[in-house]
Structure 1
Amino acid sequence: MKFGKELASQMVQEWQEAYVDYKHLKKLLKNISKSRQRNAFPTLYRSFSGLTGRDSRMMRSEDEVISVNQVQPERSENDGLHQTIFFKSPEDGGEASDSRFFEILDEEFDKVLRFYKEKVKEVTLRAEELSKQMDTLIALRIQVYEPLTERNGNHHEVKSSNPETEEDLTMNVVQETGTSSHRDHVKINIEPNGLLAALKRVIKSTKKSDLAFSIEDLRRAEEKLRRAFVEYYRQLGLLKRYRSLNMSAFSKIMKKYDKITSRSASDSYLQMIDKSYLGSSDEVNKLFGRVETTFVKHFSNGNRRKGVKLLKPRNKMERHRTTFLLGVLTGCSVALVVGIIVAIHARRLIQHDGGEQYMNNIFPLYSLFGFIFLHMFMYGVNTYLWRRFRVNYPFIFGYRSGTELGFREIFLLASALSVLTLVAVLSNLDMEMDPRTQRFQTLTELVPAGLVMVLLVITFCPFNIIYRSSRFFLIQCTWHCIFAPIYKVTFSHIFLADQLTSQVQAFRSLQFYICYYGWGDFKRRSNRCLESKVYEILYIVVAIIPFWSRVLQCLRRLFEEKDLKQGLNSLKYLSTVVALVIRTIYDFRRGMFWKIMAASSSGVTTVFNTYWDIVMDWGLLQKKARNPWLRDELLISNRAVYFVAIVVNILLRLVWMQLVLDFNEAPFLHRRTMIALVACLEILRRGIWNFFRLENEHFNNVEKYRAFKLSPLPFYQEDEKFV
């Protein structure tokens, strides 16, 4: 692999603007090469003439190709700027392209040097914070375990995660934190586990004494600080890789220059780099050693192998088993689809008298799994594209290193769901009742409910199977979405809540499950759900839950961040809630008044949502952007893709107006089929939205050089804000 591609593949994408512009420097070298080829004949002539009359001063001048000087600007806190003086050769008259090359090279080096110094300063300050936190944790260990030791009367009965003896701990605390009065002003910053504790935290501050800490508090503080050390170790790794790649880039580009010009300029320039802060600084390596030593000592009981393994990020390995199972299940799904189509046509089930009964009772049950499958499939496609275009989606979503699902795993889960669903559909294709009992087979009628139970059991399974970390991450995010104003809102919560707004029909299908199996006569394949006023009210409430969750999320961010855009965003979702309620009432009541109200409210919210999708969430339609009417930075080089996505988003936003304006009366489509089709188109629109939404978030991180998140620390000073 050429170094240019290696650099592009290994660089931290959020720092890409801070790396040496290797591609541009190579372009300058090509210009130098072309310039020398044009001047090849005059150069040969001058070389021949030089043999007869060139003095010794010219020879010395040719040996000194460049001279790198450090120019210290006035009142500057950065390193002095570097300026390379290029000595013109009498053989070629001194090409301007060479001078331009070294001018750009100096600018690139100064850029890299400043960025590296800034990041080293940041990690040094973070090291001081972690050191203070570690001191406080040791003091807390003593505070928690000393009373237990006194009660037990035996030091050996106290089991601490720290291998040091109690005397050693005390010595460290005295040396590092000073007197015990320092600990009295330290408070613990641990987020509550349950909803009840969170409510207490929001309503009033805890009245627990500063000195009243339990073993559970200690363990949670240890876990939070352990994660902070792991994240910090990763931060050091990124900075170390940044330095190494840039050093290699400067070395490669100078050697290419020597090869093209047949001069020896690389030695002088690389010596300057080696003597600079970039080449000589050893702070990052020293911090690496200190972090490993501290982590091994305090978090892995002195087991260095275990400690280093916990510190280093886990790289996901592609398993052939996943690919094999994906192929098998995909083949089974295709075969089952063909089998269902053949069964429907061979037995003429569409024209069967029980067709209407099937569509009103069984079809809504299985459509739930179709919505889930399509959403999983679109997310798998998004994951593939994000990885293809090097969008750091695990960092953006906040996954723990190595726990995120790749597109193969997502497609595997989706194909497994499709196989289970299609097998279940085959079991319910028989429209004929038992002539003796006038009842359907109870077992086959319970298959959809059984399939829902299987999905719920797998989702909440506590055992470490079927991607437990991803399942629990989904459950946690869903919980935070439901109780949005209580928990702090992060991007993963926002993103998930937006996904749920596109699954309104899935929530209504779940409601139908409860009504059909709870109050309906599923043995006779009949229900009276729509005749219940309670069902109608719940039909509205269930649909607006995800939108209301987004309203609360926006309001919390409005109060926390003082961002007026969040207030407008909450109004957008509130308008959607109003439109959804009116449209649902129109479905039940009909009438010209409700039709006009539904059409007008739906039209307003459609325009509002479409504008927000394209301009705010995607960051497009910027008049003065480098890419007209798009934005400055684009992942996809073909700009037509973005304009197509804009048009498709607008059209799919308008699709739901079909149900309001009754344009869906197609004789070949059942109304429930039309509703399911519109729901699928909304999921498709959401899948397209997902890619460009994360692309915009990715470039926001790139603009601010955010390549990692600082894990919250467990302790803070009484007179300070949370760390």
Structure 2
Amino acid sequence: MKFGKEFLSQMVPEWQEAYLDYNQLKTLLKEVSQVRQVEASDKQPSKFNRRGSLYRAFSGLTGGRSFQKLQEDAIHTNIIQRGSEGECYQSMLFTSSLEKGSEIEVDFFRKLDDELNKVVGFYKKEVGELMEEAEELSKQMDIFIALRIKVEKPDCSFEDSNEHISLTGIIPSSTSTSTVKSTFARTPGRSRKEVTQEVEMAEETSLEDAKSYRRKASKEIVQPTIQKLKPVSLELLPQVRINVQPETPISTLKCMVMSSTSQLSYSKTELRKAEELMTRALIEFYQKLRFLKGYSFLNKLAVLKIMKKYDKITSRKASKAYLEMVEKSPLGSTVEVTRLVERVEAVFIKHFANGNRRRGMDILKRKIRRERQGITFFSGFLFGCSIALVVAIILVIHLRNIFKSPGRVQYMDNIFPLYSLFGFIVLHMLMYSANIYFWRRYHVNYTFMFGFKQGTELGYWEVFFLSSGLAVITLACVLSNLDMEADPRTRTFAAITESIPLALLIALLCIIFCPFDIIYRSSRFFLVRSAFHLVCAPFYKVSLQDFFLADQLTSQVQAYRSLQFYICYYMWGDFIRRSNRCFQSKIFEAFFFVVAIIPYWIRTLQCLRRLVEEKDVEHVFNGLKYFSTIVAIAMRTGHDLNMGMIWRILAAISSAIATILGTYWDIVEDWGLLQRNSKNPWLRDKLLISNKSVYFVAIVLNILLRLAWMQSVLGLREAPFIHRQTLIAIVAVLEIIRRGIWNFFRMENEHLNNVGKFRAFNSVPLPFEYDKNEMRTRF
């Protein structure tokens, strides 16, 4: 793989604009190379070459340097102090004005200097923020240790465990790992993979003397800080307040009555919650440090690669002087970050891993999910099986002339809605699989935005495998149902034949809620937990994965109605004879309204919760949009059940309003498009897809597919060539496809907003609140 692609793949997506613009620098070098090639092809005989070199040697633009000296020392670097703005890094190219391409070379170094200053400025800013965060984490750790002593050993004085945590102190190296890391990080020309492997080997070597490491860490790291800084005494704990955010409906209701912060009660529950929050905070902080070290390494490697290309094209020796300037910059030395990394490791291993280094490092380091070739194979195999089953069902229907059989209407009214539920689920999973593929292709960091646990997120092949597997099982059940009904020998088993859809639904629910570690348990539980948050809305804090899932459920209204039909059909209907009186029941009609409104009502409550927390008026308009959709669905459902002219007019007006509001919000707010003054007319300034026509096609499709759900008010509920249930299923399928298209552009816009704010990490709430003035006297 070329370095440009490797460089892009190793970037932190949200920091992409802060990296060295390697592609633009390479483009400038290509222009220099083209000019050099033209110059080489237009060279005159050797006597003219000698005259040209003599003129060049006496040119005043070379500053009196000989031509040989010019080739060996092509640039001069300088570091300028600009007051409060910090240091500015500049280079000066020595060349003759008669050299072709000299202006482009000057532009190249000017661009390289600008990029280096940008990278150094971003790095210094991030390091400063991390140092401030480290100081706050040190104070939180001191309070946590005091709380642990108070809870676990209430009769113990603090002097018995005289320890102060300082993540920002000067730390003697306890092992040779940091030295090895620093040496590898400064070695030019090495790939990140090689460096990572050698660092990991060095860390594995140090595991043999882990006991001596912990002993040295406690003596060499903790003791020097004790001499300079006072520890937090137990007497200070009463002034500390627990800051546990409400995360359950019960805790939310309690916070409505009392303040969200309360005095410490020194209970084990508080200690357990504080330990959980501190663990998450240290892990997130550790990941920031590792990302920042990777950022420094990648940018130094990019400068090295681009300068080598320059030397090769121009036959100069400019890389040495420029790289020396880079090494003198903050980017060249990661001592502060390395110290923080070592200190966080020591603190985490001691206080959260019981001194077990291997276990502590396993928790701290992110796990990389590996693609399995078997999943790819079985995904293709199952997809092929599903295609074969579809062909088999079509042949059975054609050969047995089922379309003209007397039981056709009865089958479509009773059996087709049962199996269509699984069809909606399979289609939605296929669209999600396609979304993941395109998100990865265009480097959308969906795993970070959804909050997936590192190493447990599903790839597009895994989702495709699950959807293909469900499709094969469903189609096999449909085919067996048709075959058993047509075969005279199996007609006596009508109860078993008609129970196949119910058995399939029960099996699917058992798999989803299965507690055993099979079939991607972490992903299943993540889905169940998010669904539970929706059920308890607005008592849970609304996160992106929660309202994103709620938006998916708004496109599955027909699936909810199929579930409702399952209950009515198998509990109160005569499923053996394929007959039911569901639509003759007032209770069923009432729930026919309710189940369609539930997902939109959940989104309305989520908007209300976000309005209370964020005080943003935008959530008011978003909530009104969902409320208008609730009204439209109620009017359309009333029209479907009553078929009156008044209902039709009300349904048409409410649906038109809801469609206009929903379309505007999708395109302008969720996708961020239709910006009149953007760099890309009527789109937005930043786009991930280079082909702009894709966005306009998506806008048109969104409008057309939204109009599809207005078919019922136009009298198109039935057609002479298609059954009513089939038409309902087609409209539901179109809505699922529209939602799949919406998903990609919604997450693209969210990702670009994170990129614009360089937001690559989640904010983890800290467990304790305290008076900073009082704490300042203690630290």
TM, length-normalised to structure 2: 0.85
Distance 1:173 1:145, change over 3 A: farther
2:713 is paired with a residue of what secondary structure?
A: helix
Q: What is the match of residue 482 of structure 1?
A: 535
Q: What is the match of residue 582 of structure 1?
A: 635
Q: Given residue 379 of structure 1, which amino acid in structure 2 is its aligned partner? A: Y
Aligned mate of 2:375, from 317, 322, 325: 322
1:263 is paired with a residue of what secondary structure?
A: coil
1:259 is paired with a residue of what secondary structure?
A: helix
Aligned mate of 2:251, from 188, 194, 197: 197
Q: Given residue 349 of structure 2, which amino acid in structure 1 is its aligned partner? A: V
> 1:339, 1:655 → 2: CA distance?
30
Task: After TM superposition, give the deviation of residue 719 of structure 1 in Å.
Answer: 8.2
> 1:466, 1:611 → 2: CA distance?
39
Q: Which segment is superposed worse, 634-643 or 657-666?
A: 657-666
Q: Which segment is superposed worse, 496-505 or 210-219?
A: 210-219
Q: What is the match of residue 297 of structure 1?
A: 350
- The answer to whether structure 1 residue 185 and structure 2 residue 239 are counterparts is yes
- The answer to whether structure 1 residue 5 and structure 2 residue 5 are counterparts is yes
Q: Given residue 13 of structure 2, which amino acid in structure 1 is its aligned partner? A: Q
Which stretches in structure 2 are left out of the alignment for 5+ residues? 158-213, 774-779
Q: Which segment is superposed worse, 120-129 or 596-605?
A: 120-129
Q: Which segment is superposed worse, 572-581 or 620-629?
A: 620-629
1:522 is paired with a residue of what secondary structure?
A: coil
1:487 is paired with a residue of what secondary structure?
A: coil
- The answer to whether structure 1 residue 143 and structure 2 residue 147 are counterparts is no
Distance 1:59 1:432, change over 3 A: closer
Q: Given residue 132 of structure 2, which amino acid in structure 1 is its aligned partner? A: L
- The answer to whether structure 1 residue 128 and structure 2 residue 135 are counterparts is yes
Distance 1:343 1:34, change over 3 A: closer
Task: Report the aligned-residue RMSD.
Answer: 2.9
Distance 1:224 1:176, change over 3 A: farther
Q: What is the match of residue 397 of structure 1?
A: 450
Task: After TM superposition, give the deviation of residue 430 of structure 1 in Å.
Answer: 5.9
2:402 is paired with a residue of what secondary structure?
A: coil
> 1:671, 1:484 → 2: CA distance?
35
2:78 is paired with a residue of what secondary structure?
A: strand
Q: Conserved in 1, the CA contact under 8 Å of 2:242 and 2:261?
A: no
1:70 is paired with a residue of what secondary structure?
A: strand
Q: What is the match of residue 159 of structure 1?
A: none
Task: After TM superposition, give the deviation of residue 108 of structure 1 in Å.
Answer: 0.8
Q: Conserved in 2, the CA contact under 8 Å of 1:184 and 1:211?
A: yes
Aligned mate of 2:77, from 57, 63, 68: 68
> 2:744, 2:761 → 1: CA distance?
21
Equivalence map 1:247-326=2 (5 Å)? 247-326=300-379
Aligned mate of 1:604, from 657, 677, 692: 657
- The answer to whether structure 1 residue 26 and structure 2 residue 22 are counterparts is no
Q: Conserved in 1, the CA contact under 8 Å of 2:143 and 2:232?
A: no
Task: After TM superposition, give the deviation of residue 545 of structure 1 in Å.
Answer: 0.7
> 1:637, 1:50 → 2: CA distance?
48
Deviations 1:369-411 (A, max 9, x none): 1111111110011111111111111001111111111111111
1:643 is paired with a residue of what secondary structure?
A: helix
Aligned mate of 2:54, from 40, 49, 52: 49
> 1:364, 1:546 → 2: CA distance?
20
Task: After TM superposition, give the deviation of residue 64 of structure 1 in Å.
Answer: 4.2
Q: Conserved in 2, the CA contact under 8 Å of 1:113 and 1:278?
A: yes
Distance 1:346 1:89, change over 3 A: same
Q: What is the match of residue 119 of structure 1?
A: 126
1:67 is paired with a residue of what secondary structure?
A: strand
> 1:712, 1:330 → 2: CA distance?
44
> 1:357, 1:710 → 2: CA distance?
56
> 2:253, 2:643 → 1: CA distance?
42
Q: What is the match of residue 85 of structure 1?
A: 92
Aligned mate of 1:553, from 606, 618, 627: 606
- The answer to whether structure 1 residue 441 and structure 2 residue 494 are counterparts is yes
1:402 is paired with a residue of what secondary structure?
A: coil
> 1:83, 1:251 → 2: CA distance?
16
Q: Conserved in 2, the CA contact under 8 Å of 1:225 and 1:714?
A: yes
Q: Given residue 145 of structure 2, which amino acid in structure 1 is its aligned partner? A: I
Q: What is the match of residue 335 of structure 1?
A: 388
Q: What is the match of residue 625 of structure 1?
A: 678
> 1:320, 1:93 → 2: CA distance?
53
Distance 1:457 1:54, change over 3 A: closer
> 1:90, 1:46 → 2: CA distance?
16
Q: Conserved in 1, the CA contact under 8 Å of 2:353 and 2:359?
A: yes
- The answer to whether structure 1 residue 506 and structure 2 residue 513 are counterparts is no
Q: Conserved in 2, the CA contact under 8 Å of 1:88 and 1:94?
A: no
Distance 1:538 1:87, change over 3 A: same
Task: After TM superposition, give the deviation of residue 227 of structure 1 in Å.
Answer: 1.9
Q: Which segment is superposed worse, 85-94 or 11-20?
A: 85-94
Q: Conserved in 1, the CA contact under 8 Å of 2:142 and 2:232?
A: no
> 1:52, 1:109 → 2: CA distance?
32
Task: After TM superposition, give the deviation of residue 678 of structure 1 in Å.
Answer: 0.4
Q: Conserved in 1, the CA contact under 8 Å of 2:287 and 2:365?
A: yes
Q: What is the match of residue 725 of structure 2?
A: 672
Task: After TM superposition, give the deviation of residue 596 of structure 1 in Å.
Answer: 0.9
2:683 is paired with a residue of what secondary structure?
A: coil
Q: Conserved in 1, the CA contact under 8 Å of 2:663 and 2:702?
A: yes
Q: Which segment is superposed worse, 402-411 or 342-351?
A: 342-351
Q: Which segment is superposed worse, 525-534 or 122-131?
A: 122-131
Deviations 1:273-307 (A, max 9, x none): 11111112411111111111111111111111121
Distance 1:573 1:38, change over 3 A: same
Q: Which segment is superposed worse, 187-196 or 449-458?
A: 187-196
> 1:641, 1:592 → 2: CA distance?
40
Q: Conserved in 1, the CA contact under 8 Å of 2:242 and 2:767?
A: yes
1:667 is paired with a residue of what secondary structure?
A: coil
> 2:25, 2:246 → 1: CA distance?
53
Task: After TM superposition, give the deviation of residue 94 of structure 1 in Å.
Answer: 8.8
Q: What is the match of residue 383 of structure 1?
A: 436
Identity of aligned residues (%): 55
Task: After TM superposition, give the deviation of residue 57 of structure 1 in Å.
Answer: 3.3
> 2:449, 2:58 → 1: CA distance?
67
1:672 is paired with a residue of what secondary structure?
A: helix
Q: Given residue 23 of structure 1, which amino acid in structure 2 is its aligned partner? A: N
2:423 is paired with a residue of what secondary structure?
A: helix
Which stretches in structure 1 are left out of the alignment for 5+ residues? 151-162
Q: Given residue 106 of structure 1, which amino acid in structure 2 is its aligned partner? A: D
Distance 1:332 1:226, change over 3 A: same
Q: Given residue 456 of structure 2, which amino acid in structure 1 is its aligned partner? A: T
Q: Which segment is superposed worse, 612-621 or 95-104?
A: 95-104
> 1:584, 1:2 → 2: CA distance?
58
Deviations 1:136-176 (A, max 9, x none): 221121122125999xxxxxxxxxxxx99xx99x9999976
Q: Conserved in 2, the CA contact under 8 Å of 1:66 and 1:268?
A: yes
Distance 1:565 1:193, change over 3 A: closer
Q: Given residue 628 of structure 2, which amino acid in structure 1 is its aligned partner? A: S
TM, length-normalised to structure 1: 0.91
1:669 is paired with a residue of what secondary structure?
A: coil
- The answer to whether structure 1 residue 534 and structure 2 residue 541 are counterparts is no
> 2:520, 2:59 → 1: CA distance?
76
